[in-house]
Chain A
Amino acid sequence: MAKTAKTGERSNPGQHDGFLGYRNFRWAWRAGALCVIAIAGYLLMDAEPRPNGGSVYGYAAGTIAALLVLWLTLLGLRKRAITSGNWSLKAWVSAHVYLGLAVMVVATLHSGFQFGWNIHTLAYALMVLVVVSGLFGITVYALLPRYLSRNRGETTQKQMLETLKALDRQINEAAQPLSEVQARVVQMSLDGSRVGGGLWRRLSGGRGGCGNQRALSRLRGLRRQATDVELQMLDRMEELLQRKAVALAQVRRHLQIRAWLSVWLAVHVPATIALIAAITAHVFSVFIYW
C-alpha cells in the first residue's frame, strides 16, 4: 500500500509499481471475481432450450460486456488526461488490461457458444481480435523495452541519426577525389540507405536493398582497377562505409523494436472502433427482429 509521502518526497521510493501489478494486482482480482461470478451464473442458470444470448442470463452478460467495451474504449480519451490517485492513469490502464480480459469471458458466456456466419459472431470475432491484439501489446511491452535499451546503449534515436549524418558528410568529403565510377558507387550509399519507411519495412528491420550494403560490395570490385593512390582512398572509403553499416544496423534495429511496440495498436484501435460498430448493429438487429 502506498505510504503517505511528505511534501517533496515520493511515495514508495524505490518501488516501481507497474500497471500490471498495480496495488497487488487489485484489478486482476476484481476481473477474476467478475469471471468467476459470470461462470457460476452460466452454470447455475438453466437457460432453455440451451444457453443463448437471448436468455435472462444472456442479456445480463451481454449488457455487462457491452458496457465494459465502451468503458474500455474510453481509455483512449482518459490517457490524454493524466491525474493521480485511485483513478490515476496507471490504475485505469491496470483495470483496462484485466477487465479487457474479463470481457472475453463474459462475452463468450453471453454467446452461449452459439456461433455462425452472422453479424453477432462478427462482433464476437472483432472482440477476440481486440483482446488478442491487446494481449500481444502487453507481451511486447513486457519483453521488448529491455532489447530497445540494450540496442540503444547510451545513445538516443536523435544521436543515432546524427551519427549517420556525420558519417554521410565524411563519406561525401572522402569521395570527392574519386573517379566517376567510384563516386557513383559511393553515391549509392548516400542515396540508398533508407531508414524507416513503411510498416513492413520497419517490422522486418528493413535491410532489403540497402544502398550502403551495395556500395560496399561494389567497392570491393572496383579495387582491381584502382591505382595505388585510389586504393588508399578506397580503403578509407570502405572503412567509412563499414562504420555506416554498423550505425545503420543499430538505428534500424531501434526502429524495428519501436515498430513492434506500436504495431499492435494499429490493430487494437481500428478493431475497437469496428467492434463498437458491430456491437451497435448486433444490438439493433436483435431488437429490430425481436
Chain B
Amino acid sequence: MTLVLRQVTRRVSGAEIVREKVLPTDTARIGRGADCEIRLPDLAVSLHHATLATTGPGRVSVVSAGREPFGVDGRFVTQADIDVGRAPRLTFGDHILTLSHGDGGRILINLAAAEPAEGDSSSGVPAGGVIPKARIFGRRRIAWTLGLGIVALCLIWPLAAFHGHLNARIDPDQQWSTGPLSSAHAFLEDDCQSCHQEAFVAVTDASCKTCHAGDQTPAAMAAAATSVRRAGSPDTLSFVRDHAPRGRILWGTPPPAGFTGQATAWFRRAFNLPEQRCASCHVEHVANPVAGRPPEPIPTLTPTQTCIQCHTGLTHRLKDTDLADAPSWARHPNFRPALPGPAGLTRVSLDSRPREASGLTFPHDLHLSPGGGPARMAQTLGGRGYGAALTCNNCHRPDADQKGFAPVQMERDCASCHSLSFATPGGVRQLPHGEPGQVVAALMAWQGRGPVAGGGTTRRRPGEIGEGGPGVGVSPAGASAVNTVGGAFGPRGACFDCHTIFRTPILRFTPVRLPGDFLSRGAFDHSVREHRVDRLGQPSCAQCHAAATSGSATDLLLPSVSECVECHGQTTARSETPAPADCETCHSFHAPSHPTPRPPRPNFSARPRPAAAVQTTP
C-alpha cells in the first residue's frame, strides 16, 4: 500500500495549493522533527509524535511514539487501528490529517492546518490587530443605562408615588425636596403632599389653612392642634388671620415697579405662581438663610411688599377702603378713634377735634385738681388707696396684661366717693347701678323710709349716714316713693351728678357709651416704661392725656400721632427716649391691631430692611 501525502496550504486570496508527495515506505513518522516523513510545524506536536503504518488493505494503525496522544475523529488516543474507508480525521496540534482511498489502492493523507477561529491565531495578536476592548461597558450602554435609570428612579418612581400608585414605606418623592424644612414643619418632611397637593399648582393658602386658619371655631382649632401634635409637630400650632381678603390684597398691592419687578410679575403669571399667597412670604425648604446654621424654627419670612408700599396710594387702588394712606411714618395719618355716633361707632380723625359722647358728666379737671373737693374727699378717705389728691390710677385700673386699661366700673372706680348707699330704717342699703328699672324698684320697695335726694353737691364719705348729703339726707315727712325716685333722678339727685336724665315725661337716661378701645387698629402698650413714667419715674399720663385741664366729659383726651413722633423715629440727639418707627412696632401683618410679637421671630430681620420701611421725621 502506497502512502501519498497531500499538503494543502491556503493563499491569502483563499485559493488552495495542493502539493502531493509519495512516501517511500508503508510507515510514516508524524512529528515536528526534521526526520519525520509527515512533518507538522507545530510546537504543540512532539518531535516524533506518532507512527502511521499500513496494516492491511484499507487499514492503517497509528501509534504514539511517546505518551502524547492524538485525536481520531474527536477522541484522543495513543493508539488506533483505522479503516481508511471511513475517511478518518486525525488531529495533531493544529494540524489535521484526513485519510482516504486514492487511485490504485493508494492511501491519500490530506494534511491541512486547522482553520483558525475568527480573530484568533496562534500568537497573542489576533488577525485583526489587538484584542478588542471589552464591550460590556461600552459608552452607549452606560449612557443608556444611566440615563434611563435616572429617569426611572428620579422621575417616574416619585411620580407614581405622587399619584398614589405606590404604597411604599419609603417616600421616593423626598428626593425632590430642594432643602430641609423649618423645624416647625420638619415633621412633614416625608409627606410632600401635605402642602404640594396638586401637580404643577403652587402651594395654595388652603393647604396652609388646613392647620393655621385663625377664623375657625375654637373646637376646630383644638382639633387641628391635637392632630399636628400627634403627627409629631414640636411647636404649638399658631393660628393666623388674613390681613385682608386675598382679592383686596391683590387689588391693594401696587403694580410691580422697575424691570426686575415686571419681569418677576410676568414670570409668575407665565408659570402660574400666584402672588400674595401665604407661601409668597413664608418660604420653606430654605432651612436657614445663613448657610451652615441649624434650620429656623419657622418658615423663613420673605416679605414681598413692605407695609408702606401697599399703604401708599391705597385709597386710589381700593376706592372703597376706609383706611387712610400711610406713605411714611412722617406722614402717618392722625389717629381716628372709633367714636359712638348715630350710626354706631364711627371713625373720626383727631384733626377734626371730635368730641366724646359718652353720655356721662365728668369733669376731669375737678377730680384731678389738688385743691378741689374730690381731692379733699380723697384725703379724708385715707387708707383705701386714697389719702392724697386723686391721680389717674385711682379710677383707671390697668387690665390683665397691663397694656391697656380695664373699663371704668362705677362700683369699683367711682363708688368710693359717689356712694350708692342710702339709709333705711332697716339699715344702709345699696342702690343697684346700671339698670334704672332696678333702681326704681329698689326705691319703691323702701318708699318713705329714707330719702335719696340730697342737698348740694358736696360729697360725703359713704357710711356717714345722717350727716346730710346726697343719698342720705333727711327725707321730708310723708314723701312718697315717687317723689323719692324723682329726687334720686332729679337735678340734685345721686344719679344726676353723672348721668344726663330727661323727663319726657318718663325718665330717660342718655345712654352711656364707653368705647373699650378708641384706637382698635393699632396698639399702644401702656406697659412700656417710657409710655408710663417720665425721666424721674413719675407717672407721665398727663404728657399725652390733657385731663388736668379738661372740664367736660366730651373732651376727647387722646393724644394725636404727633405725640408719638416725639420719641418714635427720633435720634438720640433729638429725644431722650428715641424709639423705632417701624410699622411693626404698633401693627402686625396678620393682626394689625396688635404689635408684631416681640422679640421678633428669629429670622424676621435676618437681612437689613430697605430704608423706606423706617422713615423718620425729618
- Interface on A for B, CB 8 Å cutoff? 45, 48-50, 52-54, 56, 59, 113-114, 116-120, 122, 157-158, 161, 164-165, 168, 172-173, 175-180, 183-184, 186-187, 190-199, 202, 211, 251, 255, 265-266, 269-274, 276-278, 280-281, 284-290
How far, in whole Å, are A52 and B286 apart by their CA atoms in the complex? Answer: 9
Which of A113, A114, A190, A266 sits near B43, CB closer than 8 Å?
A: A190
Q: Is the CB of B32 within 8 A of A176?
A: yes
Q: What are the residues of chain B within 8 A of A168 when measuring CB–CB?
A: 122-123, 125
Given contacts A52-B178, A183-B32, A265-B139, 5 further A-B contacts (CB under 8 A): A117-B175, A122-B154, A164-B125, A191-B122, A280-B155
Evaluate whether A196 and B151 lie within 8 angstroms (CB atoms) in the complex, with A286-B178, A287-B200, A290-B200 already known.
Answer: no
Q: Considering residues A49, A192, A255, which has the most beta carbons from chain B within 10 angstroms of its beta carbon? A: A49
Contact B263 A56 (CB under 8 A): yes
State whether the Cβ of B512 lies closer than 8 Å to any Cβ in chain A.
no
* Most chain A CB within a 10 A radius of its CB, from B46, B68, B132, B178: B178
Q: How far is the CB of A107 from chain B (nearest CB, A)?
A: 15
Say whether B289 faces chain A, with CB atoms less than 8 Å apart: yes
Option from A45, A49, A59, A202 in Cβ contact (under 8 Å) with B286: A49
B125 contacts A161, CB within 8 Å? yes
Q: How far is the CA of A286 from the CA of B154 in the complex (A)?
A: 12
Query: Within 8 Å CB of A56, what residues of B?
Result: 260, 263-264, 267
Known: A211-B124, A266-B139. A196 touches B47 (CB 8 A): no
Q: Which residues of the partner chain A approach B263 to less than 8 Å between Cβ atoms?
A: 56
**Segment 403-432 of B: residues with Cβ below 8 Å from A:** none
Q: For A52, what are the chain B residues with a Cβ–Cβ distance below 8 Å?
A: 178, 286
B257-313: which have CB < 8 Å to A? 260, 263-264, 267, 271-273, 283, 286, 289-291, 300-302
Pick the contact of A289: B32, B41, B196 (CB < 8 A). Answer: B196
Q: B141-149, B241-249, B449-457, B553-561: which one contacts chain A?
A: B141-149
Interchain CB contact under 8 A, A161 and B43: no
The answer, among B68, B143, B175, B289, for a CB contact under 8 Å with A270, is B143
* Complex contact A270–B146 (CB within 8 A): yes
B7 vs chain A, min Cβ distance (A): 16
Instruction: Tell me the interface secondary structure of chain A in the complex.
Output: helix
Chain B window 349-388, contacts with chain A (Cβ cutoff 8 Å), 1 for yes, 0 for no: 0000000000000000000000000000000000000000
Chain A minimum-CB-distance residue to B606: A49
**Best-surrounded residue of B177, B202, B302 (most CB of chain A within 10 A):** B177
Q: What would 13 A/B residue contacts be, using CB atoms closer than 8 Å? A: A48-B607, A56-B263, A118-B177, A119-B175, A164-B123, A177-B33, A180-B47, A187-B44, A192-B124, A196-B131, A269-B139, A286-B178, A288-B196
> Known contacts being A49-B289, A194-B124, is A114 close to B34, with CB within 8 Å?
no
Give bound CA distance, A50 to B289, whole Å.
Answer: 5
The docked-state distance in angstroms from the alpha carbon of A195 to that of B176 is 48
Most chain A CB within 10 A, of B150, B203, B302, is at B150
Asked whether A161 lies within 8 Å of B200 as measured between CB atoms, the reply is no
Residue of A with least CB distance to B266:
A56
Contact A173 B150 (CB under 8 A): no
The residue on B at minimum CB distance from A279 is B150
Cβ 8 A contact of A195, one of B46, B131, B192, B260: B131
B159 at interface (Cβ–Cβ under 8 A)?
A: yes
Interface residue from A178, A190, A269, A288 paired with B162 (Cβ < 8 Å): A288
**Residues from chain A with Cβ under 8 Å of B149 in the complex:** 274, 277
Residues of A within 8 Å of B203, CB to CB, are 290
**Considering the complex of A and B, which 10 residue pairs feature the smallest CB-CB distances, nearest first?**
A196-B130, A193-B124, A274-B146, A273-B143, A270-B142, A285-B176, A270-B143, A168-B123, A281-B154, A277-B150
Chain A residues, Cβ within 8 Å of B47: 177, 179-180
Closest A residue, CB atoms, query B138: A266
Q: Given that A172-B41, A281-B150 are contacting pairs, would A198 and B155 also be in contact in the complex, using a CB cutoff of 8 Å?
A: no
Q: A284: which B residues are within 8 A, CB to CB?
A: 155
Tell me the B residues contacting A by CB distance below 8 Å. Answer: 32-34, 41, 43-44, 46-47, 66, 68, 122-125, 129-134, 137, 139, 142-151, 154-155, 158-159, 162, 173-180, 192, 196, 199-203, 260, 263-264, 267, 271-273, 283, 286, 289-291, 300-302, 603, 606-607
B193 to chain A, nearest CB (A): 9
Q: Which residue of B has the minimal Cβ distance to A274?
A: B146
Residues of A within 8 A of B130 (CB): 161, 195-197, 251, 255
Closest chain-B Cβ to A233's Cβ sits at a distance in Å of: 12
Q: Once bound together, how far apart are the Cα atoms of A197 and B134, in whole Å?
A: 7
Residue pair B202, A290 in contact (C-beta under 8 Å): yes
Note all chain B residues with C-beta closer than 8 A to A158: 129
Contact A176 B272 (CB under 8 A): no
List A contacts of B302 (CB < 8 A).
Answer: 48-49
Question: Distance in Å from the Cβ of A159 to the closest Cβ of chain B?
Answer: 11
Query: Out of A49, A113, A157, which one reaches B283, CB within 8 Å?
Result: A49
Bound-complex Cα distance A290 to B199 (A): 7
* A186–B32 alpha-carbon span in the complex (Å): 14
A176 close to B43 (CB less than 8 A): yes
Task: Give the chain B neighbours of A197 by CB distance below 8 A.
Answer: 130-131, 133-134
Bound-state CA distance A164–B130 (Å) is: 11
Bound together, the chains give a CA A196 to CA B279 distance in angstroms of: 61
Complexed CA–CA distance, A59 and B151 (Å): 22
Whole-angstrom distance from the CB of B113 to the nearest CB of chain A? 12
**CB < 8 Å: which of A177, A269, A288 contacts B199?**
A288
Determine whether the beta carbon of B134 is less than 8 Å from that of A277.
Answer: no
Q: Nearest chain-A residue to B199 (Cβ)?
A: A288
Contact across chains for B133 and A198 when beta carbons are under 8 A apart: yes
* Pairwise interchain contact B150-A274, C-beta atoms closer than 8 A: yes
Q: Which of A164, A190, A281 contacts B151, CB < 8 Å?
A: A281
In the complex, the chain A residue whose C-beta lies closest to that of B157 is: A281
Residue of B nearest to A55 (CB): B264
Give every chain A residue within 8 A of B155 (Cβ-Cβ).
Answer: 277, 280-281, 284-285
Residues in A neighbouring B175, C-beta threshold 8 A: 117-119, 285
Q: Which of A114, A158, A173 has the most CB of B within 10 A?
A: A114
Distance in Å from the Cβ of B604 to the closest Cβ of chain A?
11
Which chain A residue lies CB-closest to B150? A277
Chain B residues with CB under 8 Å of A202's CB are 133
Chain B positions within 8 Å of A176 at CB level: 32, 34, 41, 43
Output the least CB separation between A285 and chain B (Å): 4
Nearest chain B residue, comparing its CB with the CB of A164: B125
Return the chain B residue nearest A171 by Cβ: B123
Question: Shortest beta-carbon distance, B129 to chain A, in Å?
Answer: 5
B137/A195 in contact, CB under 8 A: no
Given A119-B154, A186-B43, A187-B43, also A276-B124 (CB < 8 A): no
Distance to closest chain B CB from A207 (angstroms):
12
> How far is the CB of A234 from the nearest CB of chain B, in Å?
14
A48–B174 alpha-carbon span in the complex (Å)? 24
Chain B neighbourhood of A173, CB < 8 A: 41
Contact partners of A48 in chain B: CB under 8 A:
283, 302, 607
Contacts of A45 in B (CB 8 A): 260
**What residues of chain B lie closer than 8 Å to A192, measured between beta carbons?**
124
A281 to B175, CA, bound (A): 10
Which residues of A sit under 8 angstroms from B607, Cβ to Cβ? Answer: 48-49
Is A199 a contact of B124 with CB atoms below 8 Å?
no
CA distance A255 to B283 in the complex (A): 56
Most buried by A among B130, B159, B174: B130
Q: Do A54 and B148 contact each other (CB < 8 Å), given the known contacts A274-B143, A284-B155? A: no
Cβ distance B598 to chain A, nearest Cβ, rounded Å? 21
- A116 CB to nearest B CB, Å: 6
Beta-carbon contact of B196 and A290 below 8 Å: yes
Structural contact, A113 and B178, CB atoms closer than 8 A: no
Asked if B41 and A49 sit within 8 Å, CB to CB, the answer is no
User: Which residues on the A side are within 8 Å of B199 (C-beta)?
Assistant: 288-290
How far, in angstroms, from A281 to B157 measured CA to CA in the complex? 11
CA of A180 to CA of B179, assembled, Å: 73
The interface residues of chain B lying within 8 Å CB-to-CB of A186 are 43
Say whether, besides A172-B41, A183-B32, A277 and B151 are in contact (CB < 8 Å). yes
Tell whether, in the assembled complex, residue A190 and residue B123 are in contact, meaning their CB atoms are under 8 Å apart: yes
Closest residue of chain B to A212 (Cβ to Cβ) is B124
